[in-house]
Amino acid sequence: MPVERIMEAYALAGTMPHVKPLGLSIHIGSQVFTVEAFKPAFEKLASTVHELRKQGHTVARLDIGGGFPVIYKDESLLDLQAYADWVRDIILPLDTEIQMEPGRYLVANSGILLTRTAYVKKKSLS
């Protein structure tokens, strides 16, 4: 959603007695292999938070998404230290609750499929 629409949505919510916007959410995609893609997203999110607060809105929560890659073949893991540094430097100073969705990054390679043959169909060759 473009920033202008976010501002409009917050303004509209401010006119509704039973609606209270609490925060913002971003998700830049799945299987994001370049950690550098997260920094501009975090910077844009921080800029939007500052703009909303300048207009008198409260931003108490941020969902900073996920999109971490899973190694299926030759993929590379993200530089998680760089990611953590940007969260520390860009997101933490915003003083909000933080939620993230690492999703399958945590669990994709942790399962095993167990099966049992229930029936074998015999086929006649004649």
**Could you tell me the residue ranges of all domains in the chain?**
3-107
Judge whether 12 and 50 are in contact, CB under 8 Å.
no
Rounded to an integer, the average pLDDT of 75-92 is: 91
pLDDT reported for residue 76: 76
Rounded to an integer, the average pLDDT of 5-14 is: 94
Diameter of the chain by CA atoms? 82
pTM over 0.85: no
pLDDT level of residue 24 (50, 70, 90 thresholds): very high
Give the full edge-to-edge strand order of the sheet including 61-66: 23-25, 61-66, 97-101
Q: Please give the distance of CA 11 from its chain centroid, rounded to a whole number.
A: 24
pLDDT level of residue 75 (50, 70, 90 thresholds): confident
CATH of domain 3-107: 3.20.20.10
